[in-house]
């Protein structure tokens, strides 16, 4: 158990370099959401992850949160989310949608945290890659995958 605690501690030690935060704030997606992010540089994710860590620590649940279990939990909760759309194009209940979405996101936060990853950074980094994979000239109004583009 002590070894496990030490390993988790190492993951928590990974910190976000300040230049990465500057890059994050310069990104168009961050700029678009700026009005909602006035209070601090990192308005939401730190509060969320701190709350998740606190709950898990108080209940000694981290022992169950291996990478494999967290990845499986994301898929399981995604199935519950998908069930809301069974037989229809829209969610059966917005209240249930909120709950299942929160379950999926919670496990995503926990998995990212386990590997010392910043959720905002990895999403924005992937979007940057996707912008390059899907140039506007080839992808506007199209649902084609990048490897289906006509050259």
Binding residues vs Mg ion (CB under 5 A): 77, 80, 103
Q: How far is the CB of 132 from Mg ion (least distance, A)?
A: 35
147 and 51 Cβ atoms separated by less than 8 Å: no
Counted residue by residue, the chain has a size of 151
Q: How far is the CB of 86 from Mg ion (least distance, A)?
A: 15
Closest residue by Cα to residue 16 from 36, 44, 46, 37? 46
**Three-state SS across 32-71?**
HCHHHCCCCCCCCHHHHHHHHHHHHHHHCCHHHCCHHHHH
Task: Name the region of 44 (left: φ>0; alpha: ψ -120 to 50; beta: rest).
Answer: alpha
Our CB check for Mg ion shows the closer of 4 and 72 to be: 72
Our CB check for Mg ion shows the closer of 38 and 59 to be: 59
Rg (CA), the chain: 19
Our CB check for Mg ion shows the closer of 33 and 93 to be: 93
Q: How far is the CB of 77 from Mg ion (least distance, A)?
A: 5
Q: How far is the CB of 82 from Mg ion (least distance, A)?
A: 11
Our CB check for Mg ion shows the closer of 20 and 84 to be: 84
Our CB check for Mg ion shows the closer of 104 and 124 to be: 104
121 and 15 Cβ atoms separated by less than 8 Å: no
Q: How far is the CB of 106 from Mg ion (least distance, A)?
A: 9
In the complex, which residue's CB is closest to Mg ion? 103
């Amino acid at each position: 158990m002590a070894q496990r605690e030490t390993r988790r501690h190492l993951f928590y030690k990974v910190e976000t370099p300040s230049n990465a935060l500057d890059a994050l704030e310069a990104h168009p997606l961050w700029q678009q959401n700026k009005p909602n992010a006035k209070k601090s540089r990192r308005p939401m994710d730190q509060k969320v992850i701190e709350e998740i860590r606190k709950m898990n620590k108080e209940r000694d649940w981290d022992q169950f949160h291996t990478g494999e279990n967290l990845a499986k939990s994301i898929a399981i909760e995604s199935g519950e989310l998908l069930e809301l759309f069974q037989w229809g194009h829209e969610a059966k209940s917005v209240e249930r949608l909120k709950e299942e979405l929160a379950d999926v996101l919670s496990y995503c936060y926990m998995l990212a945290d386990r590997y010392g990853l910043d959720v905002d950074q990895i999403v924005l980094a992937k979007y940057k890659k996707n912008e390059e994979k899907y140039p506007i000239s080839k992808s506007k109004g199209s649902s084609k995958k990048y490897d289906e583009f006509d050259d």
